[in-house]
Structure 1
Amino acid sequence: MPRLRRVRPRRASEEDRLSALPDGLIRRILTKLDTRSALSTAVLARRWARVPRDLPAYDFMVSDVLPPQYDRTVALRRRNLPRDVALARVLDGLMASCEVSTMRAFVDGITGFLDADGGKARRCVDTLRLEFFQTNDGGGVVDRLIADAVGAWGVEDLEVVVRPASHAPAPAYSFPHGRLKDGGRSRLRSLTLGNCTIPPKLDCYDALTTLVLRDMPASTPVGVYERVLSDCARLQVLHLTSCLCADDRLVVCSGIRELVVDACSFMVIELRDLPMLARLACLTNTVELVFGSVPCLTHTNLSFSVEEDTLVLPPRPHHHDELNHFLGTSPTMANLVIRFTGSKRWIGSEELDKPLLHLKRLLIADLPSNWDVSWTHTFLVEAPSLEVLHIHVAHSEEVPESFGIIWSTASPTQCHPHMKELVFIGFTLTRRQMQLLKYLVSTCTSLQRLVLLKDGHVRYDGLWDWDMVGGQQECQWTDHDKRALRRMIKSGPRPLVQLILA
């Protein structure tokens, strides 16, 4: 018969080691956890229940409490799967039930959090991120949470994102502008609204420097977006993501320094007067840029795309005209990213109207493999100060469909004394690519680093910086190809410091 081990009862004088931990160590542990887990640590020891009130950021995300199978079901239904109607209805019912039950638990959790210590718990919070489904029973609690956070806790960075519900699409959530006291509104520095109505008055948000608008409905008048720029006197950063609009032309006049337009419905964006704009990213498939005054623009990211369901014949002329006009009116640009995305791509080959005198770094990415890549030497001719040129040709098993192929235009050969680095991903020794390489090694008298990669991708660090990364698969160059490349490179004006073939 096994011996039973007698458990010695804890003496009253023994120390609770969890409670004995210093506050600094407890805070460090809690900052590594999500908000839900951090608040749950209150059951470990009474002293831990007080420390989460001092956390600098709270994340109340409904996605943290959704079961894993929910997102998988949503992905299936977006692809219109399964095809069986009866089974699809069953899945839709399960999704709706999951959303309702999750929001009830979500609302109960927030209510308990707000009612802690009789609703008088003192908190000092810098950031609040909130994500929820728009339901009839959750709006009041969410309004109270936002009002308390901005008014009593001192939140300066606020993010409110409403997830669309599958069972009963509700109108956009109305941001509780009326419940925020003047002191709270004037404290906000960063505001993100996703699928929310914009507050009717933004001029009282005196300290607001960053505004992010996402998933705005198609009924939004263009005047709402333009009012944002006129009302927020201190606004420095404006991001518009998946924003729809009742009009197709947006006129921007502001003192902002950073503008990002991503997947929006604006057909025309007129940058009329932006004296302080330094960073611009236009990542959309329908936009036409009309530039006015942008004297400080240095970092730019442009994506040109035509969706699969859009067929325009002949090719729309603004794709190259506006690119030409844009580059010609940005004399201070130093960093430029140009991407070609979508299944159907086209751009013209006209030379630039005005030189890019200050351009230092240039990335031309996602070029279709059937395009004449030697067109890119136009930028060398028009950018005499260019130091870094990175070219990425998209790898594809099939020849990509495109509206047209870029053909290089004749231009005189000239010296490029400032070019130091060339990285080419997707180099396959075609005749046009070899012509471009020969031109570069013969005219770039200060070239120090040359990297030719058969496969790889561009790893983006934000919107205006990037790294060129080689592929994981080993691509062997034949001895004949290596000799041909080295013979061509040696014909240049000076030997390279670094040559990489991979």
Structure 2
Amino acid sequence: MARTSSRRRAAKLMAKPSGSTMVKGSPDDRISSLPNDILVNILNRLDVRAATRTSVLSRRWSQLPAMVPQLTISARDLLPSETKTSISKVEIVRRATAAVAKDPANAALSNAELVRRTSAAVAKALADAAAVAKALADAAAVAKAVANTAVAKVIKSILACRDPGGWPIRLSMTFYLRDGVPISVGHTVGNAMATLKVEKAEFTVLTEKEGRKCSIDDVVNYGTRFVSFFNECHNAFAGLTRLYLENLRFRESNFVSNILVTCKQLNYLGFFNCDTEDWITLQVEHAQLIELSIVDCRFDMVKLTWVPKLTWLVFLFWITSRDPPLALGYVPLLEVLRLSNAARSLDKMLKLSTFLHETSIRDLTLGFQCEKIWVQPECLTRRQAYVFQQLRILNLVKIPEGYDLTWTMFFLEAAPSLEELYMTYGSIHVKWK
């Protein structure tokens, strides 16, 4: 919100001045008379499109976009606003059936003829809806291709004008995994890392289809594309500080480990709906990783063997034959943990005091999606008191109805420093401070 407000104020400052605000006899307005560092600060609060438009004002302005300390550009932000929403097949059938029933010309028809006309109307409505959906999908694909190309061009243009001996720059890029754009972006960023002072570099790699719409063939295809991108741009990946990946299936079982080995500077790594063809035990060893997010992924086991700087971990909606599917090794700084899963009646229960015995968690979220509680109730012991002595915030989400909430007393007794407790039990929301 603060970022949006600052951009609005900056955009207002950049608006064309009225005659009363112009300095008489001067070709420049009062904003242009400000020193470069102030103007660069203003440009840094604008989005990339607005900032680059200022380069047409004068020769001086044309040099300023290449001086901004932060370059953030997202292909999603360049897409046209969606003006149409999809309608479910059930709603299409309902509307077509209602239209036939309301038509006065059909009032005297026999039941058999009415059924025939209704079926024909429904079939036509579904065919029309399918044609519209395909047209919208094709238009969206074209829009994503155009936005992707724009990202590559803007990054290349701005970085080419940077002074190698100038101020450091922070790069944040979001783009789609399609065509040759990812490799183009990777080469540009890799060259920048070799010639410029790049303080941070972030890649958010999106797929054209969203997770729920992806078939097996889609995620395999996306995985193949990413492997080609990764292999072509090792220099860029070696310097990344943040990487987010989604909807990828890798043919090689050790490829995820290759990402960890190559991307040695990562502070954040996020996986959504990613896996390998063969279920693997993912060993995580990384000296710089601070935040790790694994959501809706299919790994047999994830072992955080040695992650000395990790402070924030999200592990949601796992699918595995192991219980638990996550093992915490050397993570001495881990403070924030988010765990959520839809436990089945046959799944084993997790003993938190054993699972967290090497950590000092301060902020814990446990999500229960259905069927049963997968945390085993425990009696308070000295070991459990040690595990939870640093706990300050506890969030228990979607506790299944029918469970006696007295099991939550374990946390209240084991966590003497607890400051905030949030619970959702069915439709009941409880907040305690």
**Which range, TM-score by smaller chain?**
0.5 to 0.7
**1:23 maps to what in 2?**
36
- Of 376, 379, 393 in structure 1, the residue corresponding to residue 424 of structure 2 is 393
**Which AA in structure 2 matches 1:42?**
S
Pick from 284, 299, 313 the counterpart of residue 266 of structure 1: 299
Q: Which residue of 1 aligns with 2:72?
A: 59
Q: 1:351 aligns with which of 378, 400, 408?
A: 378
Gap runs ≥5 in structure 2: 1-18, 93-125
How far apart, CA to CA, are the structure 1 residues paired with 2:144 and 2:304? 42
Alpha-carbon distance in structure 1 between the residues aligned to 2:35 and 2:308: 51
Q: Matched residues, percent identical?
A: 19
**Structure 1 CA distance, aligned partners of 2:45 and 2:362?**
36
Equivalent position amino acid for 2:225 in 1 = A
Match of 1:301 among 337, 345, 357: 337
1:457-483, Cα deviation, whole Å (9 max, x unpaired): xxxxxxxxxxx7xxxxxxxxxxxxxxx
User: Are the aligned partners of 1:262 and 1:283 in contact in 2 as well (CA < 8 Å)?
Assistant: yes
Structure with the higher fraction of residues in helix conformation: 2
> Superposition RMSD on alpha carbons, in Å?
4.2
Give the residue type in structure 2 aligned to 1:284: F
Which residue identity is paired with 1:225? V
CA contact (8 A) 2:338 2:365 kept: yes
The equivalent residue for 1:195 is none
> How far is 1:68 from its partner?
0.3
Aligned residues of 1:363 and 1:391 also touching (Cα < 8 A): yes
Preserved CA contact (<8 Å) 1:261 1:284: no
Residues 284 and 305 in structure 2, CA contact (< 8 A), matched pair in contact too: yes
Cα deviation, residue 33, structure 1: 0.3
Aligned to 1:92: 137
| Distance change (3 Å), C-alpha of 1:257 and 1:335 | farther
Please, which of 335, 338, 341 is the counterpart of residue 362 of structure 2?
335
CA deviation map 1:362-418 (0-9, x unaligned): 4132234543211111224444x4343514224528xxxxxxxxxxxxxxxxxxxxx
Deviation at 1:341, TM superposition (A): 4.0
Structure 1 residues 283 and 78, CA gap change in structure 2 (3 angstroms) = farther
Residue pair 1:19, 1:45 contacting (<8 A) in 2 also: no
TM-score (norm 2): 0.66
Distance (whole Å) between structure 2 residues aligned to residue 293 and residue 155 of structure 1: 32
Q: 2:404 aligned with 1:372, yes or no?
A: yes
Does 2:318 correspond to 1:285? yes
State whether residues 207 and 247 of structure 2, in contact with CA within 8 Å, keep that contact through their aligned partners in structure 1.
no
Alpha-carbon distance in 1 for matches of 2:91, 2:154? 34
Aligned to 1:172, the other structure's residue is in SS state helix
How many corresponding residue pairs?
356
- Flag the structure with more relative contact order, 1 or 2, with Cα contacts below 8 A and sequence separation at least 6: 2
Superposed CA offset, 1:84-118 (max 9, x none): 322222222322333344445555555655676xx
1:159-218 CA-partner distances (Å, limit 9, x unpaired): 23333236997642444766677xx887x3x433xxxxxxxxxxxxxxxxxxx3422621
Contact 1:277 1:294 in 2 (8 A): no
For residues 220 and 100 of structure 1, do their structure 2 counterparts lie closer, same or farther at Cα, with a shift above 3 Å needed?
same
> Which of 231, 246, 249 matches 1:215?
246
Equivalent residues of 1:248, 1:266 under 8 A apart? yes
**SS of residue matched to 1:147:** helix
Q: Residue 208 of structure 2: which of 145, 155, 165 is its match?
A: 165
1:35 maps to which residue?
Answer: 48
Measured at CA, do residues 426 and 237 of structure 1 come closer, stay the same or move farther in structure 2, by a change above 3 Å?
A: closer
